[in-house]
């Protein structure tokens, strides 16, 4: 849910920023927005792939022995 909101906010900001650039056709503006979103998606995918599970050791079930 949070990632979807992040992409929507990023999309709106990119559209506003690209719309103020003069001397670009509509097709080039759309291409810039799509390319920027794909780069952001790739970075997020890389971060999720490397941080989740990275550096953690597997959980081991250790049994405690009670000495009498």
Choice between 8 and 61, residue whose per-residue pLDDT is larger: 8
d(CA 12, CA 18): 10
Name the one residue in this structure whose structure tokens are 């990119």. Answer: 14
Radius of gyration of the chain (CA): 23
Please name the residue ranges forming H helices in the chain: 2-19, 26-51
Domain assignment of residue 66, yes or no: no
Domain assignment of residue 58, yes or no: no
What pLDDT is attached to residue 19? 85
How many distinct structural domains can be found in the chain? 1
Domain assignment of residue 68, yes or no: no
Domain assignment of residue 26, yes or no: yes
Q: Is the pTM of this model over 0.85?
A: no
Domain that holds residue 27: 1-52
d(CA 39, CA 36): 5
Residue 62 confidence (pLDDT) above 60: yes
Domain assignment of residue 48, yes or no: yes
Domain assignment of residue 65, yes or no: no
Which pair of structure tokens corresponds to residue 20? Answer: 């103020």
């Amino acid at each position: 849910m949070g990632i979807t909101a992040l992409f929507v906010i990023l999309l709106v900001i990119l559209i506003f920023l690209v719309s103020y650039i003069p001397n670009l056709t509509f097709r080039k503006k759309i291409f810039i927005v799509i390319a920027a979103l794909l780069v952001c998606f790739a970075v997020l995918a890389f971060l999720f792939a490397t941080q989740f599970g990275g550096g953690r050791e597997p959980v081991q079930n250790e049994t405690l022995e009670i000495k009498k």
